[in-house]
Structure 1
């Protein structure tokens, strides 16, 4: 069983999706915290416009005839350093933020249920495949015994014919019986190979792997619960039903998120600025700003309401799927419960028939020996 779960590709993908949804939830939870960012910039250079302006000033003042030492100098290179620290926080999101967190939580829960469902499905498939292999092995043994017995009876019938105590018709009849038993053995061997291959496929083993059932065929146990108790237990333990309930919650949270687009939004912010002119010796200057921003997109042409209506329909679909899944589970339990009772009666009947057949065979051998 552990080998099947470890090698099943679908289960591995579900587990990876579960791990991914854990990080999706972690991302959604970060919406409760403010965002903090910083930036810094340093500039140093000399602009061409400054030189042109200085030359124009000299021309206007007639400084071309003035000695160079007395002229207005060209502006030199300048530099500055700026830094900013900003903080932003969405104070009210119209219900979007808590809905997104709950949505991520329910999606994580849904994926956990999917992993559980796949694990139980693998367990059921491997169990049934193993039982089928046990049955196929038993049919091969039965067919081999039937061929051996038919061959012995044919030899005995031929001896009776040679002794004048039997007929040619009886010999031909027994030859047909041996041929039928041989064909049954061939079919049983084919079914055995198919059963082995099916189990190997579930275990994700190579085609060359030789699989045999190690456990003997025996009654696995008794089921002491009534039909109603079995139904209640199945409703409680089947993850398929819980998945539909979780899906309904997901659709409701998505509806809340859709309506948040036309609800008021309120955010606050703060910022600290630093500035230093590299051409002077005055040091840093600082400043700050704080504020709040209100935004309300109260009309979007009905898009948000349309998305909300879609989620309402998805809620109804999930509820309908829940009812259908519950009815399907009830049918499966009732069918399995009926088959269980029938199998118990078949075991008792087969045990009695085996005792009668063994006694009949013993008497037939005694009569033949006589």
Structure 2
């Protein structure tokens, strides 16, 4: 009968643990979605990308035609005349009347810019793509911050339950010590030491609750919005202590290769390096001829909307700044140096990624090993506490043995909680290191 009850209790604990894990995952996903909507860092990254898109639109507009309209007026005291010799006689011919108005509509288009406009447009496009990559990495960073803050909250809540359980055990032992003292079996010092242990455990509960409140504040900041009420619901301590960490077999080379493919920083550095090359090309193109064409319609006369003299006009201009004192060359050299700098930073980022992946894998492996040891320690601490309490009740053990066993049991429960949520945090760090 006892075995059947034990098996039934064990199965119920496993079922409750699985349900709690599913609820945890659902709540975490809702927090990640809320952070995507409310976290200011993500909003700021979106605005940076919007600014980059506007710069791209501006660079593209420089290549298109431009339309303009103009009006002008000239007022004078008399007509402008010019003397013209006709058959040996000087005649005064009016050139402009005393009040003359002119109007024109023009359409201009850059025909050739030495490739500078095309290069600037391509540089703006690369800058926009780099901004999008940085924005994606910002979101991944926020997601990682939310995951870590969430697991910190759950760990703090679990340790709060451990502290409350330890306080409950301390009170039970004090009641036992008082009973034995009243029966004349133990000395008054056992009761006093039990009272000290109860007070100490109550202080631990206060500290644990404060740690939970601080963790909640950190999670609130990471999400950027108020937290749902579900976050206040705590999983039973027995369920937490029975949860297993998923086994992970580290394959650093494969994980690093996957990170190289996914990390947005590598994409951003590569794009910015190519952007610098395009800016160098744009600066170099300024030393080549610039050809501009224009067509329009002009009119002049003595009325405000002139129509006396009107005709279509066309123009073609060439501007060649073949020497600028070395300014274009300096800009070209600067852009090329920036491109080379970004390539070096790209190589350094690969080393950083390899280190981050290795550290996350090491932390994950270490936390998994600690969880296994902590579970064994917890089982042994429970048995030791049971024996110490039994021996004390039968006056063959000391009060100090019972108090030490209770403290060891509380520490063992805390170690299990710490190791389990260290696994969850390490998993989050590995996801972040691999650019997922």
TM-score > 0.5 by shorter chain: yes
Match of 2:274 in 1: 249
SS in 1 for 2:298: strand
Instruction: Report the alpha carbon displacement of residue 176 of structure 1 after superposing the two structures with TM.
Output: 3.6
Which sits farther off after the overlay, 24-33 or 124-133? 24-33
Q: Distance in 2 between matches of 1:205 and 1:88?
A: 52
Q: Which runs of 5+ in 2 are unaligned?
A: 1-31, 81-96, 395-436
Kindly indicate whether residue 254 of structure 2 is the aligned counterpart of residue 229 of structure 1: yes
Which sits farther off after the overlay, 248-257 or 136-145? 248-257
Q: With structure 1 as the length reference, what TM-score do the two structures score?
A: 0.80
Q: Distance in 1 between matches of 2:232 and 2:265?
A: 31
Which sits farther off after the overlay, 192-201 or 261-270? 261-270
Match of 1:58 in 2: none
Instruction: Report the alpha carbon displacement of residue 79 of structure 1 after superposing the two structures with TM.
Output: 7.0
Q: 1:36 aligns with which of 67, 83, 89?
A: 67
Q: Distance in 2 between matches of 1:299 and 1:219?
A: 73
Instruction: Report the alpha carbon displacement of residue 235 of structure 1 after superposing the two structures with TM.
Output: 1.9
Find the structure with the greater CA-based Rg. Answer: 1
Which sits farther off after the overlay, 337-346 or 155-164? 155-164
Show the 5 A alignment for 1:103-142: 103-142=123-162
Q: 2:214 aligns with which of 164, 169, 194?
A: 194
Show the 5 A alignment for 1:77-116: 82-116=102-136
Q: Distance in 1 between matches of 2:230 and 2:121?
A: 48
Q: 1:273 aligns with which of 282, 298, 301?
A: 298
Flag the 1:124–1:214 CA change in 2: closer, same or farther, 3 A.
farther
Which sits farther off after the overlay, 34-43 or 294-303? 34-43
Q: Distance in 2 between matches of 1:8 and 1:169?
A: 56
Kindly indicate whether residue 355 of structure 2 is the aligned counterpart of residue 331 of structure 1: yes
Q: Distance in 1 between matches of 2:372 and 2:355?
A: 26
Show the 5 A alignment for 1:176-187: 176-187=196-207
Instruction: Report the alpha carbon displacement of residue 205 of structure 1 after superposing the two structures with TM.
Output: 4.0
Q: 1:212 aligns with which of 220, 225, 231?
A: 231
Could you tell me whether the CA contact under 8 Å between 1:275 and 1:285 is conserved in 2? yes
Q: Deviations over 1:120-159 (max 9, x none)?
A: 1111111101100000001111001101101211221232
Could you tell me whether the CA contact under 8 Å between 1:133 and 1:213 is conserved in 2? no
Kindly indicate whether residue 25 of structure 2 is the aligned counterpart of residue 6 of structure 1: no
Instruction: Report the alpha carbon displacement of residue 165 of structure 1 after superposing the two structures with TM.
Output: 3.2
Match of 1:314 in 2: 338
SS in 1 for 2:68: strand
Show the 5 A alignment for 1:292-311: 292-311=316-335
Q: Distance in 2 between matches of 1:117 and 1:365?
A: 55
Could you tell me whether the CA contact under 8 Å between 1:136 and 1:192 is conserved in 2? yes
Flag the 1:227–1:50 CA change in 2: closer, same or farther, 3 A.
closer
Could you tell me whether the CA contact under 8 Å between 2:283 and 2:329 is conserved in 1? yes
Which sits farther off after the overlay, 89-98 or 358-367? 358-367
Q: Distance in 1 between matches of 2:234 and 2:131?
A: 35
Q: Over aligned residues, Cα RMSD in angstroms?
A: 3.0
Match of 1:16 in 2: 47
Flag the 1:79–1:303 CA change in 2: closer, same or farther, 3 A.
closer
Flag the 1:223–1:213 CA change in 2: closer, same or farther, 3 A.
farther
SS in 1 for 2:56: helix
Q: Which runs of 5+ in 1 are unaligned?
A: 52-76
Flag the 1:41–1:315 CA change in 2: closer, same or farther, 3 A.
closer
Flag the 1:361–1:49 CA change in 2: closer, same or farther, 3 A.
same
Q: Distance in 1 between matches of 2:50 and 2:125?
A: 13
SS in 1 for 2:366: helix
Kindly indicate whether residue 77 of structure 2 is the aligned counterpart of residue 48 of structure 1: yes
Instruction: Report the alpha carbon displacement of residue 201 of structure 1 after superposing the two structures with TM.
Output: 2.1
Match of 2:427 in 1: none
Runs of 4+ in 1 over 6 A off after TM superposition: 77-81, 208-211
Instruction: Report the alpha carbon displacement of residue 25 of structure 1 after superposing the two structures with TM.
Output: 1.7
Which sits farther off after the overlay, 346-355 or 138-147? 346-355
Instruction: Report the alpha carbon displacement of residue 28 of structure 1 after superposing the two structures with TM.
Output: 1.8
SS in 2 for 1:272: strand
Instruction: Report the alpha carbon displacement of residue 223 of structure 1 after superposing the two structures with TM.
Output: 4.0
SS in 2 for 1:5: helix
Q: Distance in 1 between matches of 2:127 and 2:257?
A: 26
